[in-house]
Structure 1
């Protein structure tokens, strides 16, 4: 288990979920990951931070009643200057939907989408550095972008965040690894027409669990669904699941543990 330090620009540093039923969603993730909750910034409405002990793990907020947006986990990528990053997003063909704006004294945020339409956040840390613990049950362990093709999308993230992109030459799959200083930080999968109907390109968050099979069973008990049952993955045993509002995420027991 490791604790957070100030994230290098481009590093996935936080994940956040906007839902309709905040109380029910807290119950779901408390039952699955053992999270407790504390109040967070409220610039975008009611918002809580998920905690493991005294360490911040993720955020959950309530969507306005009149907003019928997809319920999905959103990764936030670190920036030393959210305003400059927002300008870079626009100039490289992306769209800025929210911000830049201050989240109390915690930091400054942007919510944007890449040229394919996949939504992500940008976080300029101040008092809040991001996810404060890694590598244990209930913590974000990886982020993956599912999109139509990787070439143009990879160029966008390289231009905005400075990633090196490493193509997977070992298989026929259209897959890129995004790296910072030689360290992998995320994966881009080009899946063409295999994108889920109605979702389009999107980011997917993977959470570490002690036992993938037991966690998948618990998801169903709590009112969620198992979309892809537990099985071997590139980094460990993995399953794709959704919570009671339909937010899709992966649970994994990493081989490195």
Structure 2
């Protein structure tokens, strides 16, 4: 698999206090199977969909007490250089670029409105082995209360062009690499409680959205929004039993017209 262009969402992982519980939940909801825990790398455990690596779960390091949440990593040709651009454009580097054996180099950062994300400079591990198939990553959106700062940041850090959806009812932007749309940005409105910070929402593809929601809620997950039909698929927003937010989408079930957009950069 070729290395992804800079700025492409290329990997996802999450930290869970109860890793076995997370494995059981996502195994049932997304059909994941799991590899052996890598004790050399903090019991990092890869998740597989139909034999392809699609994500990973890991327990917190001793002394850590961070809430469970998914982290999306963007491909970087040079993690140190990308980290410098993050700082230069109002972001914060939370974890300096760190080489992970032969696998690659990782970095954790926060954009100006508070959403946390990662960088991944691939080595022998280049990222997702599958996308846009059941169980795999399908899409992501940055939810922010400060869209102007977020938009300027991502357009400066990565080689994105951008399109704004032409709709007075919603403030939504799409970031592109060439002809490929790789990331969305949604303004958070009053429907979001003020204590919810900016965040990156990941969508995982499922064969049936309603079935995935039923499995998730039966297993202790919480339905936050939907299911709802859209031109891109039928989707729903959920939280798992440990509080990590994610969405599921059936990309085969589309309804409605794709919204009009205008180029903004």
Distance 1:130 1:171, change over 3 A: same
Q: 1:21 aligns with which of 18, 22, 27?
A: 18
| Structure 1 unmatched runs, 5+ | none
Please tell me whether residue 113 in structure 1 is matched to residue 118 in structure 2.
no
Aligned partners of 2:114, 2:253: CA distance in 1, in Å? 33
Cα drift, residue 51 of structure 1: 1.1
Q: Which residue of 1 aligns with 2:257?
A: none
Please give the per-residue CA displacement for 1:2-54, whole angstroms capped at 9, x wherever unaligned. Answer: xx532111000011111111111111111111211114666762210001233
Is the 8 Å Cα contact of residues 141 and 202 (structure 2) preserved in structure 1?
A: yes
Please tell me whether residue 87 in structure 1 is matched to residue 84 in structure 2.
yes
- TM-score normalised by the chain length of structure 2: 0.90
Please give the per-residue CA displacement for 1:195-253, whole angstroms capped at 9, x wherever unaligned. Answer: 34432100000011011111100002222121213121341111111111011111111
Tell me the SS of whatever aligns to 1:134. coil
Aligned partners of 2:14, 2:70: CA distance in 1, in Å? 5
Q: Which residue of 2 aligns with 1:221?
A: 218
Distance 1:179 1:255, change over 3 A: same
Q: Which residue of 2 aligns with 1:63?
A: 60
Distance 1:43 1:77, change over 3 A: farther
Is the 8 Å Cα contact of residues 175 and 183 (structure 2) preserved in structure 1?
A: yes
Is the 8 Å Cα contact of residues 174 and 190 (structure 1) preserved in structure 2?
A: yes
Q: 2:142 aligns with which of 145, 149, 159?
A: 145
Q: Which residue of 2 aligns with 1:130?
A: 127
Please give the per-residue CA displacement for 1:59-103, whole angstroms capped at 9, x wherever unaligned. Answer: 111113532222111110000101111111111111111120011
Is the 8 Å Cα contact of residues 149 and 174 (structure 1) preserved in structure 2?
A: no
Q: 1:241 aligns with which of 238, 243, 250?
A: 238
Q: Which residue of 1 aligns with 2:184?
A: 187
Q: RMSD of the alignment, in Å? A: 1.8
Aligned partners of 1:100, 1:129: CA distance in 2, in Å? 16
- TM-score normalised by the chain length of structure 1: 0.93
Once the two structures are overlaid, the 10-residue window that deviates more, 65-74 or 147-156, is 65-74
Is the 8 Å Cα contact of residues 49 and 134 (structure 2) preserved in structure 1?
A: no
| Structure 2 unmatched runs, 5+ | 255-265
Q: 1:96 aligns with which of 93, 97, 100?
A: 93
Aligned residues: 254
Q: Which residue of 2 aligns with 1:161?
A: 158
